[in-house]
């Protein structure tokens, strides 16, 4: 099991942020969606998704407690009301038909068992949802 230094990641992930921006533009969000960000890390990419959701919201999950602590500190719920973070392993999600979009950047190659993640994504999505 590896561990993440959230501050170090925050300061050295400009490249991952670039990939994320390209992906976010391809999501073609309308602004009212409920989005799940798997492996949200330090939360800065999740916050960029939230900016595109004036009438929607985004939940970032990550299995690293340190990353989630860092994300919550940088993007407190009081100031970012459409943005939330939870510690959760993508291999063990229990959402049920609540997301319009499941998004993930620079994370799925870290996952060990992909099948439970794919099943969890399918179960998390509304019938019309997209990943």
Rank residues 14 and 28 by Cβ distance to ligand SAM and give the closer one. Answer: 14
Tell me whether residue 23 or residue 128 sits nearer to ligand SAM (CB atom): 23
Stretch that binds ligand SAM, among 51-59, 73-81, 88-96, 120-128 (CB under 6 A): 88-96
Q: Least Å distance between CB 89 and ligand SAM?
A: 4
Closest-CA residue to 44 (of 7, 78, 81): 7
Query: What minimum distance in Å lies between the beta carbon of 116 and ligand SAM?
Result: 9
Task: For 4, list phi and psi in degrees, rounded to 5.
Answer: -115, 140
Q: Tokens 């990353």 belong to which residue?
A: 67
Q: Which stretch binds ligand SAM (CB under 6 A): 27-35, 49-57, 74-82, 99-107?
A: 99-107
The enclosing H or E element of 84 equals: strand 83-87
CB atoms within 10 A of CB 4: 17
First-to-last alpha carbon distance for the chain, in angstroms, is 27
Residues making up the chain, counted from first to last? 131
Stretch of residues binding ligand SAM (CB under 6 A), selected from 24-32, 74-82, 102-110, 118-126: 102-110
Q: Which of 16, 34, 52, 118 is in the footprint of ligand SAM by CB under 6 A?
A: 16
């Amino acid at each position: 099991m590896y561990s993440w230094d959230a501050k170090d990641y925050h300061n050295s992930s400009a490249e991952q942020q670039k990939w994320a921006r390209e992906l976010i533009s391809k999501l073609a969000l309308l602004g009212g969606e409920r989005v799940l960000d798997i492996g949200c890390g330090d939360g800065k990419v999740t916050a960029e998704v939230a900016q595109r959701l004036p009438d929607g919201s985004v939940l970032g999950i990550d299995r690293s407690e340190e990353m989630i602590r860092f994300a919550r500190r940088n993007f407190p719920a009081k100031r970012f009301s459409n943005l939330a973070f939870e510690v959760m392993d993508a291999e063990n999600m229990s959402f049920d038909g609540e997301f319009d979009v499941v998004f993930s950047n620079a994370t799925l190659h870290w996952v060990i068992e992909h099948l439970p993640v794919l099943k969890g994504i399918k179960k998390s999505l509304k019938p019309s949802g997209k990943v």
